[in-house]
Chains A and B, each alone.
Chain A
């Protein structure tokens, strides 16, 4: 039972003595058994609170109600009591309670938690989803297209004419038994997600903003940085007034969103048949901060240059628009930019994975780190 302040009728010294002793005993008992910080605060409030604390109540009930002749004696005793209670309250500390009573219900809180298994999102798909989300917040919609493509969509309509040397850079995997078809209908595994640019422009009139995640294939034997199958994220924006500065600003923003706001971007001239001017986007190395060194060691991800190649991009080549001109893409009226990046590559960069093959083994020891 918590202590409540009794009403005093008897103001004899003995009665006052008794009331004060009772009060003190209660206070000291409470002070010796404060189990935790919250209780300590409650204890202090209960006794000392200015408005309705026990001391205030004593003042109100005992002192104010004292008959004139007893007032002086009561006042002295009350001041004494107040001082001792104040001392008790101030010195009160959280005390470890009754050991025997507690240890009966005690558990070892250092035992490892039993974690029910939670599956992880695949790191490449996670990186891809996050990158796409950056663009979705900028007004881009997701678009998709087939993995088995025709020569027309993978090459011709992207300004890779038949027999053009630029096709050599693509290490294409071809579907067997296509020889009897005209070249543009022959099937192959798309070497980039860029065909979806054409397929989308055939369906939708400008203005468009799309971002295209997907699987692509190349005839590259697997090693730490190559795989015959990998993932790309492609982007395309077309409108009546898109400039090279818009390309730069959009990608600069996206890189900062994805890799961190400290990241700086730099654009270097490059060549892709379906964009002109074409560029490669480099980001300042977010691992070494652009210094090329980590302490006394060389920074590996940026090969000590302070810069990491992130993606290829450029202004859509007018020849590409010619293929979809009838759907509102007159290169004299619209302009646009496109970009493409390896989702596996940005996942490797973001999560510090140094072997591309790890993504494709299904090794749970690797995958569950993202859970």
Chain B
């Protein structure tokens, strides 16, 4: 919102320059975000809070300046406005006294009105004022008006329309001008729209109205959408001779609903939604009339002013003690009185030793209703930076979230393993939701795009997108992890399970393989995939070791987006804690991924329940260990897991480890078989193992492996 510094100075005599004025206004909450132009053409870019419609115009800002600098504010006046043949100079300054209200009412009720107006909705239109001017000349606005409006980026239309715009920007009250001769029946009715009724608004759009919409209508049809936009068919044109000026006070909620329903946001609706000044309806009509009359024409009769009900602005009690409780105790009653008085509040001291004030709120400050609202005004005008900085004492304790330590350990481990922490957006497409999870999902009513319609029910799509982002930029070695929530509906209730996701390219995995550490020494794609899988599985195991998982059980029941032969599900105590492995070829090709990708998904909710791993300490062995290697040939359908199970079932006290050392396929081994070199480590807590003990254990192990179909190579 732009305002002219010079225009503000019309109403207040200031000695400070524009830059200083901008700084001081900003410090008082009337934010000047930028300054452009210079001299008389200096323009302030304003940022006025949604609660301060009174300051969204030049006079309102001048009022703030007057309070800040403690100087006088010049009254707004329609002085010089005179109806043809009448001696009444029209309304004077904002007329708030009961007496002048009474005078207005008497005029509009006892004399035959200049223009008949019927308000059928007194709750929604408590006040409707109007002015009639005749024999006007529609032409471009005079230079000063045009210049000022252009300065603040307002489009020029004609002197009559510009006059309403000028007054809106001058003192904040929206008004509207009708070509009076186009108003059928020579009357106006404020009523709800009828079902199916149509109105072509000033923007040229034909709108079908709702019975909830409040309209200004003539005898036949709606001619304006109350507080939002006037009608096209009754607008001012070159041919207009006679004008009806409207200035009303509309119910904020009704205006807001209508504006939203029809998706129109106007300067008028913006102000009416936030509450206009009830007392300025007649004055604004008069100010508009005077501007139009500068180009010729005559004022007809008195203002029409239909007041159906008055706005109730109850006085607010302000206790000095409450000011002190919220702001601290350095402001005296005298300070408080002076600050509020300058802003137009009327204060009557009450209570013992003026411990409180009865405060009457000015009509333009509908945002001030409570004691705390007044306290804010006091703090704002006093200057926030003048309050001393203090630190409060505290009687509580600092508590960590229950899973904080586990999550921290998980993050640290993932980073130590070389994975960068990433954050992806929480939206996924419907097709990804279906592909990557079986949960029922939460869809957005107003998504940013079709691709972002669903709240993620899996971390996998986001991870794959991030991996693709890197691969598409020739970054080949990528390791990423992300921790966060997924969003699901379970039994109709929304839940937000916590997940972690690990993603890496096969090239990054293979680079971490130490020289000579490859198990499968035969060549071939499968050998490389087996190594990559083992490397990735090691990372997964390292991460699971944060938690008290006990023995892990693996099976092959993974989601369809995983490669069926190169993925696994991990169970701890019967609960699924992770799925991991290479992604399926179809996913790889659909997402145009240029490398094999490995993905792991951790169910943090389950893992959190298992708790952090308890460290069970074992003293380092006292006696030397012995290693023995055995070379076997097995059929491909015997997996290492089977050998491991068979050996562990022997429950050998002295067996410390049983690991594969080398694998070979092809050559003399023959198809469907593989050679595997196995290494055992034997050790006793009681003494150095004797040869016969070693031989006995070895024999048992060899026998167990032979039982599985293994043929020992000697």
Contact = CB atoms under 8 A, between A and B. Distances in A.
B443 A119 contact: no
Contacts of B470: 362-364
Interface string B378-399: 0110001101111110111111
B609 interface: no
B391 A250 contact: yes
Interface string A164-184: 011011000111111000000
Interface residues of B, number: 87
Given A165-B50, A278-B376, A368-B420, A219 B273 contact: no
B422 interface: yes
A315 B328 CA distance: 12
A250 B391 CA distance: 6
B596 interface: no
Interface residue tally on A, bucketed by range: 35 or more
Contacts of A253: 389, 391
Interface string B437-480: 00000111111100010010000000101110110010101111
Contacts, number: 241
B415 A237 contact: no
26 contacts: A117-B512, A119-B416, A120-B420, A122-B423, A125-B423, A138-B394, A141-B398, A146-B496, A176-B442, A215-B426, A215-B485, A228-B427, A228-B448, A229-B427, A243-B390, A244-B328, A248-B388, A248-B389, A253-B389, A268-B29, A361-B469, A363-B466, A363-B470, A363-B475, A365-B473, A365-B475
A367 interface: yes
Nearest to A139: B394
Taking each of B390, B400, B478, which has the highest tally of chain A beta carbons within 10 Å of its own beta carbon?
B390
Contacts of A207: 394-396
Interface in B235-287: 253, 256-257, 273-274
Contacts of A147: 426, 485, 487, 496
A3 interface: no
Interface stretch (A37-45, A102-110, A269-277): A269-277
A276 B415 contact: no
A173 B467 contact: no
Interface string A220-244: 0100000111000000010101111
A118 B416 contact: yes
Contact of B328 (A144, A176, A178, A243): A243
A151 interface: no
B496 A363 contact: no
Contacts of A138: 391, 394
A209 interface: yes
B484 A250 contact: no
Given A175-B443, A268-B384, A359-B423, A165 B475 contact: no
A156 interface: no
Nearest to B512: A117
Interface string A131-152: 0000010111110101110000
A223 to B, nearest CB: 12
A189 B446 CA distance: 11
Contacts of B494: 146, 148, 187
B320 interface: no
B83 interface: no
Contact of B418 (A119, A125, A315): A119
A315 B394 contact: no
A174 B443 CA distance: 9
Given A250-B392, A367-B421, A229 B373 contact: no
B655 interface: no
Given A175-B444, A176-B443, A209-B396, A245 B420 contact: no
Given A141-B398, A207-B394, A271-B52, A148 B448 contact: no
